[in-house]
Amino acid sequence: MTTDELQGCLGRLKGIRSNLSARDYSSADILRNFNRIVQKLSELTKENLDNFVAPSSLAYRSSGGDDLVKSFHVLEKVNELIGYLEHGMCLTEQVVGVGILYNTIEDSELRDRCSDILSARGNFDRVINQATLVLEDRIRRKAGSDRTTVGVKLVSEALGGDPSTARLAISPHSDEQEGITHILRGIMIGFRNPTHHQLGSRISREEALKVCCFIDFLLGILDTASVANQTKNKS
Protein backbone atom coordinates (compact mmCIF):
# COMPACT_ATOMS: atom_id res chain seq x y z
CA MET A 1 0.00 0.00 0.00
CA THR A 2 1.35 3.44 -0.93
CA THR A 3 0.56 6.91 0.32
CA ASP A 4 -0.21 7.98 -3.23
CA GLU A 5 -2.91 5.31 -3.60
CA LEU A 6 -4.65 6.34 -0.40
CA GLN A 7 -4.37 10.02 -1.25
CA GLY A 8 -5.91 9.25 -4.62
CA CYS A 9 -8.90 7.46 -3.06
CA LEU A 10 -9.47 10.26 -0.56
CA GLY A 11 -9.26 12.84 -3.34
CA ARG A 12 -11.79 10.93 -5.46
CA LEU A 13 -14.18 10.73 -2.51
CA LYS A 14 -13.97 14.48 -2.01
CA GLY A 15 -14.63 14.98 -5.71
CA ILE A 16 -17.75 12.80 -5.49
CA ARG A 17 -18.88 14.79 -2.45
CA SER A 18 -18.57 18.05 -4.39
CA ASN A 19 -20.60 16.68 -7.30
CA LEU A 20 -23.32 15.30 -5.04
CA SER A 21 -23.58 18.54 -3.07
CA ALA A 22 -24.24 20.52 -6.24
CA ARG A 23 -27.44 18.72 -7.31
CA ASP A 24 -30.54 17.00 -5.97
CA TYR A 25 -30.31 14.00 -8.31
CA SER A 26 -27.24 12.33 -9.77
CA SER A 27 -26.47 9.58 -12.25
CA ALA A 28 -26.40 6.09 -10.70
CA ASP A 29 -22.84 5.87 -12.05
CA ILE A 30 -21.71 7.98 -9.10
CA LEU A 31 -23.03 5.31 -6.72
CA ARG A 32 -21.13 2.60 -8.57
CA ASN A 33 -17.96 4.71 -8.61
CA PHE A 34 -18.27 5.27 -4.86
CA ASN A 35 -18.62 1.56 -4.18
CA ARG A 36 -15.56 0.83 -6.30
CA ILE A 37 -13.59 3.25 -4.12
CA VAL A 38 -14.87 1.48 -1.00
CA GLN A 39 -13.67 -1.84 -2.42
CA LYS A 40 -10.28 -0.36 -3.33
CA LEU A 41 -9.83 1.07 0.18
CA SER A 42 -10.72 -2.29 1.69
CA GLU A 43 -8.00 -3.93 -0.41
CA LEU A 44 -5.43 -1.26 0.47
CA THR A 45 -6.05 -1.14 4.21
CA LYS A 46 -7.14 -4.77 4.75
CA GLU A 47 -10.10 -3.37 6.70
CA ASN A 48 -13.70 -4.53 6.37
CA LEU A 49 -15.51 -1.45 5.03
CA ASP A 50 -18.74 -3.20 4.00
CA ASN A 51 -20.79 -0.90 6.24
CA PHE A 52 -19.90 1.99 3.97
CA VAL A 53 -21.13 0.34 0.74
CA ALA A 54 -24.09 2.18 -0.79
CA PRO A 55 -26.86 -0.34 -1.63
CA SER A 56 -27.73 -0.65 -5.29
CA SER A 57 -31.40 -0.27 -4.32
CA LEU A 58 -30.76 3.49 -3.99
CA ALA A 59 -30.75 3.70 -7.80
CA TYR A 60 -34.00 3.95 -9.72
CA ARG A 61 -35.15 4.38 -13.32
CA SER A 62 -36.56 7.84 -14.02
CA SER A 63 -39.55 8.48 -16.30
CA GLY A 64 -37.09 9.56 -18.95
CA GLY A 65 -35.27 6.22 -18.78
CA ASP A 66 -32.19 7.43 -16.88
CA ASP A 67 -30.71 5.56 -13.92
CA LEU A 68 -30.60 8.08 -11.06
CA VAL A 69 -30.04 8.35 -7.33
CA LYS A 70 -31.11 10.99 -4.86
CA SER A 71 -27.85 12.76 -4.15
CA PHE A 72 -28.32 13.08 -0.39
CA HIS A 73 -28.63 9.27 -0.02
CA VAL A 74 -25.18 8.69 -1.47
CA LEU A 75 -23.80 11.86 0.11
CA GLU A 76 -24.53 10.43 3.56
CA LYS A 77 -22.36 7.38 2.78
CA VAL A 78 -19.59 9.50 1.26
CA ASN A 79 -19.44 11.78 4.31
CA GLU A 80 -19.41 8.80 6.67
CA LEU A 81 -16.48 7.23 4.85
CA ILE A 82 -14.50 10.47 4.58
CA GLY A 83 -15.10 11.09 8.29
CA TYR A 84 -13.93 7.60 9.16
CA LEU A 85 -10.79 7.91 7.04
CA GLU A 86 -9.85 11.37 8.31
CA HIS A 87 -10.70 10.91 11.98
CA GLY A 88 -10.92 7.17 12.66
CA MET A 89 -7.78 6.33 10.67
CA CYS A 90 -6.16 9.79 10.72
CA LEU A 91 -5.87 9.95 6.93
CA THR A 92 -5.03 13.54 6.11
CA GLU A 93 -3.23 15.15 3.22
CA GLN A 94 -0.17 13.19 4.35
CA VAL A 95 -1.91 9.84 4.50
CA VAL A 96 -0.73 7.21 6.90
CA GLY A 97 -3.34 4.52 7.55
CA VAL A 98 -3.63 2.23 10.52
CA GLY A 99 -4.01 -0.43 7.84
CA ILE A 100 -0.31 0.03 7.11
CA LEU A 101 0.44 -1.13 10.62
CA TYR A 102 -1.85 -4.14 10.34
CA ASN A 103 -0.28 -5.14 7.04
CA THR A 104 3.28 -4.82 8.31
CA ILE A 105 3.46 -5.70 11.99
CA GLU A 106 3.30 -9.43 12.65
CA ASP A 107 3.85 -9.61 16.41
CA SER A 108 0.40 -9.55 18.07
CA GLU A 109 1.60 -8.07 21.36
CA LEU A 110 3.38 -5.26 19.55
CA ARG A 111 0.26 -4.55 17.49
CA ASP A 112 -1.95 -4.46 20.58
CA ARG A 113 0.40 -2.07 22.36
CA CYS A 114 1.04 0.32 19.47
CA SER A 115 -1.83 0.35 16.97
CA ASP A 116 -4.10 2.73 18.89
CA ILE A 117 -1.21 5.13 19.61
CA LEU A 118 -0.22 5.18 15.94
CA SER A 119 -3.76 6.28 15.07
CA ALA A 120 -3.54 9.23 17.49
CA ARG A 121 -2.82 12.80 16.43
CA GLY A 122 0.54 13.27 18.09
CA ASN A 123 3.03 12.36 20.82
CA PHE A 124 4.36 9.42 18.81
CA ASP A 125 7.28 8.98 21.17
CA ARG A 126 4.74 6.83 23.07
CA VAL A 127 4.84 4.29 20.23
CA ILE A 128 8.59 3.88 20.63
CA ASN A 129 8.18 3.72 24.42
CA GLN A 130 5.74 0.82 24.13
CA ALA A 131 7.57 -0.94 21.30
CA THR A 132 10.87 -0.96 23.19
CA LEU A 133 9.04 -2.06 26.32
CA VAL A 134 7.65 -5.07 24.42
CA LEU A 135 11.15 -5.84 23.12
CA GLU A 136 12.68 -5.55 26.57
CA ASP A 137 9.99 -7.71 28.17
CA ARG A 138 10.35 -10.36 25.45
CA ILE A 139 14.09 -10.62 26.07
CA ARG A 140 13.57 -10.80 29.83
CA ARG A 141 10.90 -13.49 29.71
CA LYS A 142 12.69 -15.63 27.17
CA ALA A 143 16.01 -15.41 28.99
CA GLY A 144 14.44 -15.86 32.42
CA SER A 145 16.12 -12.68 33.65
CA ASP A 146 15.27 -10.79 36.80
CA ARG A 147 12.60 -8.07 36.47
CA THR A 148 15.02 -5.49 37.84
CA THR A 149 17.47 -6.05 34.98
CA VAL A 150 16.71 -3.56 32.22
CA GLY A 151 18.05 -1.94 29.08
CA VAL A 152 21.63 -2.53 27.97
CA LYS A 153 22.42 -4.64 31.03
CA LEU A 154 19.55 -6.98 30.19
CA VAL A 155 20.70 -7.36 26.59
CA SER A 156 24.29 -7.99 27.63
CA GLU A 157 23.35 -10.61 30.20
CA ALA A 158 20.89 -12.39 27.90
CA LEU A 159 22.76 -12.35 24.60
CA GLY A 160 26.32 -11.22 25.24
CA GLY A 161 29.36 -13.42 24.75
CA ASP A 162 29.76 -16.78 23.06
CA PRO A 163 26.41 -18.12 21.73
CA SER A 164 27.22 -21.51 23.24
CA THR A 165 27.17 -20.01 26.74
CA ALA A 166 24.79 -17.05 26.31
CA ARG A 167 21.32 -17.36 27.75
CA LEU A 168 19.81 -16.71 24.33
CA ALA A 169 21.53 -18.03 21.22
CA ILE A 170 20.55 -16.09 18.11
CA SER A 171 23.11 -17.79 15.88
CA PRO A 172 25.82 -20.42 16.28
CA HIS A 173 28.21 -17.92 14.71
CA SER A 174 29.82 -15.59 17.21
CA ASP A 175 30.00 -12.63 14.82
CA GLU A 176 26.26 -12.82 14.04
CA GLN A 177 25.41 -13.17 17.73
CA GLU A 178 27.58 -10.14 18.49
CA GLY A 179 26.02 -8.12 15.67
CA ILE A 180 22.43 -8.65 16.87
CA THR A 181 23.53 -7.96 20.45
CA HIS A 182 25.04 -4.63 19.40
CA ILE A 183 21.84 -3.71 17.53
CA LEU A 184 19.72 -4.49 20.58
CA ARG A 185 22.04 -2.48 22.82
CA GLY A 186 21.72 0.42 20.38
CA ILE A 187 17.93 0.18 20.46
CA MET A 188 18.03 0.41 24.24
CA ILE A 189 20.43 3.37 24.29
CA GLY A 190 19.06 5.30 21.32
CA PHE A 191 15.32 4.63 21.56
CA ARG A 192 14.30 2.99 24.84
CA ASN A 193 16.12 5.28 27.24
CA PRO A 194 15.05 8.64 25.75
CA THR A 195 11.36 7.68 25.58
CA HIS A 196 11.34 6.12 29.05
CA HIS A 197 12.99 9.04 30.83
CA GLN A 198 11.67 12.14 29.06
CA LEU A 199 8.77 13.36 26.95
CA GLY A 200 9.34 14.19 23.29
CA SER A 201 7.23 15.58 20.46
CA ARG A 202 9.68 15.60 17.53
CA ILE A 203 8.91 12.05 16.37
CA SER A 204 6.45 11.81 13.49
CA ARG A 205 3.96 9.02 12.94
CA GLU A 206 5.98 7.79 9.97
CA GLU A 207 9.19 7.68 12.01
CA ALA A 208 7.51 5.88 14.90
CA LEU A 209 6.06 3.33 12.50
CA LYS A 210 9.50 2.66 10.99
CA VAL A 211 10.97 2.01 14.44
CA CYS A 212 8.00 -0.17 15.31
CA CYS A 213 8.47 -2.23 12.15
CA PHE A 214 12.16 -2.73 12.87
CA ILE A 215 11.39 -3.86 16.41
CA ASP A 216 8.85 -6.29 14.95
CA PHE A 217 11.70 -7.70 12.84
CA LEU A 218 13.90 -8.04 15.93
CA LEU A 219 11.10 -9.76 17.85
CA GLY A 220 10.91 -12.30 15.05
CA ILE A 221 14.62 -13.00 15.45
CA LEU A 222 14.22 -13.38 19.20
CA ASP A 223 11.38 -15.83 18.72
CA THR A 224 13.77 -18.15 16.87
CA ALA A 225 16.47 -17.88 19.55
CA SER A 226 17.22 -20.94 21.64
CA VAL A 227 17.87 -20.91 25.37
CA ALA A 228 21.45 -22.14 25.18
CA ASN A 229 22.30 -22.44 28.87
CA GLN A 230 19.44 -23.84 30.93
CA THR A 231 21.63 -24.21 34.02
CA LYS A 232 22.57 -20.56 33.96
CA ASN A 233 18.91 -19.53 33.68
CA LYS A 234 17.97 -21.50 36.76
CA SER A 235 20.82 -20.22 38.92
Q: Is 97 exposed, middle or buried (0-12, 13-18, 19+ CB in 10 A)?
A: buried
Span 88-117, mean pLDDT?
66
Give the pLDDT band (50/70/90) at residue 89.
low
**Positive or negative: CA dihedral 50, 54, 55, 56:** negative
pTM for the full predicted model = 0.58
What per-residue confidence (pLDDT) applies to 164?
A: 85
What per-residue confidence (pLDDT) applies to 86?
A: 78
What per-residue confidence (pLDDT) applies to 83?
A: 87
Q: Got the DSSP string for 89-105?
A: S---SS---HHHHHHH-
Indicate the domain borders of the chain.
Answer: 3-96, 105-234
Q: Could you report the per-residue pLDDT of 183-216, keeping only the tens digit for each? A: 999 999 999 888 887 777 688 888 888 899 999 9
Span 210-229, mean pLDDT?
89
Span 46-63, mean pLDDT?
92
**Positive or negative: CA dihedral 95, 98, 99, 104:** positive
Looking at the predicted structure, is the pLDDT value of residue 136 above 60? yes
Span 131-152, mean pLDDT?
92
Strands (E), the chain: 25-27, 60-61, 67-70, 168-169, 226-227
